[in-house]
Amino acid sequence: MTTTDAPRRTRPETATARAGSRVLRAASAVERAAFAVAAGALVTMTLLMVVEIAMRYFIASPIGWNFGFIQDYLLPGYFFLALAYTVRTGAHVTIDVVYQRCPAPVRAAMTVIARVLMLGLSALLLWAGLLTTHDAWSSRDIPPPGGAELSIPTWTWHVLVPVGAALLTVRLVCDLAARRDVRRDDEKGDDA
């Protein structure tokens, strides 16, 4: 029997591992959907600005409400809904000059430290966003007609912050759990 014919030893999949895999797949699907909404917000911002400029200079009649809509809905949606996807794909800002020159164990430790710090900040952002959204909801905060470009309840745009922060928090927890599992598997492999 050659080494290629030997039965492969695989780690038995536990119920916890299956549940974790389902959570990770669900989180990734929600992240992709949120990222699609964020991309749609970016396209909408661009189109609104092009239409605003065209109407202002060619018709002398600007839209008027587009800046409030961009500021209150599209920019926060674009930013907060893309956070988790950005972290998952590694498109966030890193200091590659330092990071790439470090040995693999140091890079792994740096990544874990960064993820833990990000997790703390995202949890704080989630908490603050929930409080702000709750305050806007419970006080029925709506700008009076004429007091803002859009007289829409403010909770409808405040909610983008806790939604994005919740997605980021789940992503960071999943990432840290996956790193822990890989480290545990590496340690078991060294013992064998």
How confident is the model over 148-171, as pLDDT tens digits? Answer: 777 888 898 999 999 999 999 999
> Which range among 65-79, 127-141, 177-191 has the greatest average pLDDT?
127-141
Residue 7 has pLDDT above 50, yes or no: no
Of residues 192 and 80, more confidence is placed in: 80
Cα 1 off chain centre by: 50
Confidence of residue 142 (pLDDT cuts 50, 70, 90): confident
- For residue 5, what are the contacts with CB-CB under 8 A and spacing of at least 6? none
Rg of the chain on CA atoms, in Å: 23
Contact criterion met (CB below 8 Å) for 36 and 87:
no
Residue 97 CB: number of other CB atoms within 10 A? 7
DSSP β-bridge partners for residue 149: none
Percentage of the chain modeled with pLDDT above 70: 82
Provide the 8-state DSSP code for 59.
I
Q: How far apart are the first and last CA of the chain?
A: 22
What is the model's pLDDT at position 9? 45
How far, in Å, CA of 113 to CA of 109, rounded? 6
Q: What is the pTM of this model?
A: 0.78
Residue 133 has pLDDT above 90, yes or no: yes
DSSP H helical ranges for the chain: 15-54, 66-69, 75-89, 96-99, 104-138, 155-158, 160-191
Of residues 155 and 16, more confidence is placed in: 155
Residue 4 has pLDDT above 70, yes or no: no
Burial of 113 (0-12, 13-18, 19+ CB in 10 A): exposed
